[in-house]
Amino acid sequence: MTPTRFDLNAPEVIADPYPHYAWLREHAPVYHDRDLGLWVLSRHDDVATALRDSDRFSSDTGGPWSDLSANPFNPSMKVAAPVARAARRLPAPRVLLTSDPPDHTMLRRKVSRAFTPRRIASWEPRIRQITERLLSQMTARGGRVDLVRDLASPLPTTVIAEMMGVPPERQDRFRRWSDKAIDGLLTNGSLRSTLHGTAAMSAYFAAAVRKRRRNPRDDLISLLVTDGDEAPLSAGELVTFCILLLVAGNETTTNLISNTMLALMDNPRAMEMLQADPGLAGAAVEETLRYDGPGQGLLRLTKADVTFGDVTIPAGHRVLPLIASANRDPRRHPDPDAFRLDRGRTDHLAFGTGIHFCIGHALARLESTVAIESLARLGLTPRPAGTPERINSPVLRGLRTLPLTLT
């Protein structure tokens, strides 16, 4: 198949974007999608430039409510003009992910102490316990399982909920809220479900913040409310950050675990190597981040005219640096379409780069490695048991279901 143009939302692109990215890198590395009002970057060097140059590429794309009727990741979403106008008037607290310096510098300094390598590493025994419990429930069900439902989805949700001090009986609701919030923004879900999920999470976290201010405990929300700073985060900023953690961390980690399993099943030699040495789980996760990572692209807004080669992107335009295409760029990664466990750490961009580099990368790597390693240690062979159902999104790459037999 030889594509002639690139349509981010076309079903065949969502099903397998990689040949389309290869076409872009070769024929239109700075591609202008006039319908979506979006400039698409696909080569490693250009993508890295856009992410590292926060002076010219702003992350402040206006927030999720800024232009609801022109969401490039869900163009079918229909929003009546009065609703879009009302949404633009909603209070908009500063959000780490979509802010620029100096706000970003201040927010990042405050929240990063909750994600130090030592703090994350201290969670390893608990992550192993939760994984063991999920695996024993899964194997007790018999041979046929759904890896997403039984392991990849509940593991990160349970871990982040425990970190935030959410009681176990509320944790299922958590998953549903964060699923709903993502649904309309990044997949083909409705605005109604996004607003519903976000409102439910906001109400929950607003109450949790009030409680922790009165009675701090040993959890992440308490750490954030008691930062001892002269200019503490406002209640709105705290609530928004809690929501960001759920939205940015759950679905992505779920997808990393299931994408890793899918890549291993598609590459029997790699699967055999892992079964023989479960210590290779970290290498499998790292290679999946490069080869088929959970995030395909990010959004930026040009603050000045920017020239790549002979193409100039004017100021004030939206740019989509395709990190998943950068990760398959043969100029950077030899034999990029091969899934190999012996690459070692590459400079893939699955967690971004520059000032917005993922704050949860160590947690995501730890959870995914423990999940894949513990599965391999079961000594059972996973085999496909039906067609996996893919998430319908141009930017989130992952599975809704991954039916398997373990024999």
Contact 51, 354 (CB under 8 A): yes
Q: Could you say whether residue 195 binds ligand HEM (CB under 6 A)?
A: no
Q: Which one among 294, 336, 382, 398 touches ligand HEM, defined by CB under 6 A?
A: 294
How many helices (H) and strands (E) would you count in the chain? 17, 12
CB of 107 to ligand HEM, least distance (A): 8
Contact 238, 225 (CB under 8 A): yes
Q: Could you say whether residue 359 binds ligand HEM (CB under 6 A)?
A: yes
The single residue listed with the structure tokens 């194997």 is 139
Distance CA 282, CA 150 (A): 21
Contact 186, 73 (CB under 8 A): yes
Q: How many CB atoms lie within 10 A of CB 145?
A: 21
Q: Could you say whether residue 350 binds ligand HEM (CB under 6 A)?
A: yes
CA distances, 26 to each of 4, 23, 38, 74, 149 (Å)? 12, 5, 19, 27, 39
Applying CB under 6 A, which part among 119-127, 210-218, 292-300, 375-383 lies near ligand HEM? Answer: 292-300
Q: Could you say whether residue 175 binds ligand HEM (CB under 6 A)?
A: no
Q: Can you tell me whether residue 389 is helix, strand or coil?
A: strand
Q: Could you say whether residue 256 binds ligand HEM (CB under 6 A)?
A: yes
Q: Could you say whether residue 351 binds ligand HEM (CB under 6 A)?
A: yes
Instruction: Please spell the DSSP secondary structure of 82-129, one letter per residue.
Output: HHHHHHHTS-----GGG--TTHHHHHHHHHHGGG-HHHHHTTHHHHHH
Binding mask 103-142 for ligand HEM (x = CB under 6 A): -----x----------------------------------
Q: Could you say whether residue 59 binds ligand HEM (CB under 6 A)?
A: yes
CB of 100 to ligand HEM, least distance (A): 10
Structure tokens at 243: 């929501």
Distance CA 151, CA 94 (A): 33
Applying CB under 6 A, which part among 34-42, 74-82, 353-361, 385-393 lies near ligand HEM? Answer: 353-361
Binding mask 214-253 for ligand HEM (x = CB under 6 A): ------------------------------xx--xx--xx
Number of residues that bind ligand HEM (CB under 6 A): 26
Binding mask 145-164 for ligand HEM (x = CB under 6 A): ---------------x----
Binding site for ligand HEM (CB under 6 A): 51, 59, 96-97, 108, 160, 244-245, 248-249, 252-253, 256, 293-295, 298, 350-352, 356, 358-360, 363-364
